[in-house]
Amino acid sequence: MAETASPEQARTLSAAVLRDLRDDIVNCRLRPGDKLRFSDLKARYGVGLSPLREALQHLAAEGLVDAQDQRGFTVAAMSVDDLQDLVRMRLEIESLTLTDALSCGDDAWESEVVRSAHHLRLTGPATEQAGPDAAAEWCRRHKNFHMTLLSGSSSPRLRNLCDALFDQSERYRLWLILHGTVARDVEGEHDTLMDAALARDTARATALLKQHIQQTADEVADLTATQAALAAA
């Protein structure tokens, strides 16, 4: 379990474990709230304590794990409140970054956007039918498309922040998929978003992106409302 999650090879065990741990948390193979015992992690990743502790400290700073002195580490919890906080930040930060990307992005950026959009389209329709491998591949391409779009920005801090916030959001999107919420017309949303971006239509692009982000929050709200209704009945 948990072999190389992304093709880039790490030059240290610490970096490799960081990558694998983040991937396992983002994809809920390590579930929210789980206690991260070193004996378990050692066996799971086949490394010693030093690289594990370093990776966990890094993830603690990123917000994907909680650290408590002398009491170890746990996977960061998920909650409706947390999702609202997360979505609020993404709405503001990603709009800002996208605006910057539209004013800074050059020809190479445009081409990369087109490439990543096409790459994503190629796995699109098969999401439901194909196995978990195909779903994982779609997630990778989906993230790549969004990050490529934002990569035109000239601010390293904004780009990093968007990346971290996207990872945190992935757990909530996965939760929706696991509970059978049928995706809306995501394909179309990506296409129109890309069109607005390439046309440098800032107002339209940010509006579309905000809508795209907000809908995850709304769907989770619907789902929890439905579950509450079911529980009451």
Crossing angle of helices 132-150 and 186-198, rounded to 10°: 20
* Element (DSSP H or E) covering residue 22: helix 13-26
Identify the residue among 2, 5, 47, 89 touching a copy of itself (CB under 8 A). Answer: 89
Q: Which stretch binds a copy of itself (CB under 8 A): 101-109, 157-165, 187-195, 199-207?
A: 157-165
The sign of the torsion formed by the CA atoms of 203, 205, 209, 214 equals positive
Distance CA(44)–CA(140), nearest Å, equals 23
Identify the residue among 2, 5, 10, 47 touching a copy of itself (CB under 8 A). Answer: 10
Residue nearer to a copy of itself on the CB measure, 39 or 70: 70
134 binds, among DNA, a copy of itself, none (CB under 5 to 8 A by kind): none
Identify the residue among 31, 37, 46, 61 touching a copy of itself (CB under 8 A). Answer: 61
**The tokens 């799971």 sit on which residue?**
44
CA-nearest of 52, 51, 88, 58 to 165 is: 88
CA-nearest of 8, 204, 190, 23 to 116 is: 190
Identify the residue among 42, 53, 119, 210 touching a copy of itself (CB under 8 A). Answer: 53
161 near a copy of itself, rule: CB under 8 A = yes
Interface map 59-98 toward DNA (x if CB under 7 A): --------xxxxxxx-------------------------
Alpha carbon 163 to its chain's center: 7
CA-nearest of 84, 96, 77 to 36 is: 77
Report in angstroms how near the CB of residue 51 gets to a copy of itself at its nearest: 9
Report in angstroms how near the CB of residue 147 gets to a copy of itself at its nearest: 18
62 near a copy of itself, rule: CB under 8 A = yes
H helical segments located in 69-131: 80-104, 107-121
Single-letter amino acid code for the residue at 49: L
Residue nearer to a copy of itself on the CB measure, 53 or 204: 53
Which residues inside 14-33 make contact with DNA, applying CB under 7 A?
14
Please report, as ranges, the residues that interact with DNA according to CB under 7 A: 11-14, 35-39, 47-51, 53-54, 67-73
